[in-house]
Amino acid sequence: MEAMTSRERLLAAYRHEAVDRIPCSPRISFWLTEHYGGASLATHLRAGQEFGFDPHVNARVFWSPFELGVHDSYDLPDVEYSVSWSKDGDFDVASRTFRTPAGVLTDRLNIPPAGDRSFGMSPNPFRSEHLVKTRDDLGALRYLLPDPKRASFAGYFGQVEEAGEDGLVQLNIHSALNHRAGEMMSTEDLMMLYYDDESFFAELMEIGHQQQLAEIRTALDAGVRHFFLNWYYNSMSTGWSPPFWTGYFQPQLREACELIHAGDGTVDYYDDGKCMAIIDWVADAGIDVLETLTPPPVGDVDLAEVKRRIGDRVCLKGYIDLIYVLRFGTPALVDRTVREALAVAGPTGFILGTSDGIRDGTPVENVRAYFHAAATYGRQT
């Protein structure tokens, strides 16, 4: 078979077509930042050439005031915004106020001290107060939804041009929970709300879902065709159970997939937690790619079983454990794990990846062993 470009190889795997070698596309930004000083698209492409892998790059266009960050201002017409700062021990505390025609919303975000590596390279802030307290807040909440049509896609298409045939650039779209309802209220309160006041829960979820669909429609109209649906807030590892999935999550995922496929697009679905209980529902929703296939002990994926159950209609991506194999394992363990994964899930409809991003501190000899094994055992004759 003639040699394929990275982009050709990845899209062939999406379609379950023959490939010159099984694609290798790990999540690797943290490790690249440690070893290259950054994780830009150019750095991914450079590392892809050096190590012989196929970069997936998830570009962002849409923003949200619900995400884990604080800005001095937001592009929200009819909203008066202010932020004040204080300290809570070592944490910087941002107290935000949004004054809307329908009422005032406030929240508070605790931000780890800059440069403190106690919790890794990029520790998340946490909310000590959430925006939504009661149903009465929903009217004001709607004023905090950015208009997707005001977004610029110049940066996205610039990355597509820069990557060319050396990688695949996807557009990152969050679920109704991801950095939406899952930040408007705490996860625990959302779960209890489902049982205490399901109509309130449903309305809050629908706000996030309609924003997700609006972003997808806008992106399709702009010419985007490859979507990364970021759904890790919906993971079974977060604590959600089958009733949430059958009642809310799968219908929302199906509607997003149908919309993208109607525009001739592809869906890469991301959940880095346990998923064996829901893989059939996820596949039935119409996704093209499922990642990250996290194995035990962090996840619960039996790769052979997943391949048997949905591997004929869904491209599988990921699997190699970033902690117990790549971070704390040996080159021999890495080699064996990669070889077994390729044998079980290949040769078509599989993209070798990782259970999440390869972290800073992962030995370079293990990373090299990973890429060497991918090239050695993934090559097709």
Residue 241 CA to residue 261 CA, distance in Å, equals 27
Task: Output the pLDDT for position 119.
Answer: 65
Mean per-residue pLDDT for 199-225? Answer: 97
Mean per-residue pLDDT for 16-39? Answer: 95
Residue 173: which of 251, 241, 95, 230 has the closest Cα?
Answer: 230
Over residues 253-272, the pLDDT tens digits come to 999 999 999 999 999 999 99
Over residues 273-293, the pLDDT tens digits come to 999 999 999 999 999 999 999
Task: Output the pLDDT for position 229.
Answer: 98
Task: Output the pLDDT for position 289.
Answer: 98
Give the global pTM.
0.95
Q: Which two tokens stand for residue 12?
A: 């062939």
Q: For the residues of 175-201, what is the DSSP string, one character each?
A: -SIIIIIHHHS-HHHHHHHHHH-HHHH
Residue 229 CA to residue 268 CA, distance in Å, equals 6
Pairing of strands 56-59, 91-100: unpaired
| Residue 296 banded pLDDT, cuts 50, 70, 90 | very high
154-163 and 41-51 are packed helices; what angle lies between their axes, rounded to 10 degrees? 20
Task: Output the pLDDT for position 242.
Answer: 86
Task: Output the pLDDT for position 369.
Answer: 98
Share of the chain above pLDDT 90, in %: 92
Question: For the chain, what is the mean pLDDT?
Answer: 95
82: pLDDT strictly greater than 80: yes
Over residues 145-190, the pLDDT tens digits come to 999 999 999 999 999 999 999 999 999 999 999 999 999 999 999 9
Task: Output the pLDDT for position 68.
Answer: 87
Torsion angles phi and psi, residue 133, rounded to 5: -110, -40
Instruction: Give the helix ranges, DSSP H, for 20-151.
Output: 29-36, 41-51, 138-141
Question: What would you report as the CA-atom Rg of the chain, rounded to the nearest whole angstrom?
Answer: 21
What does the CA dihedral 276, 280, 286, 292 come to, rounded to 10 degrees?
A: 10
48: pLDDT strictly greater than 70: yes
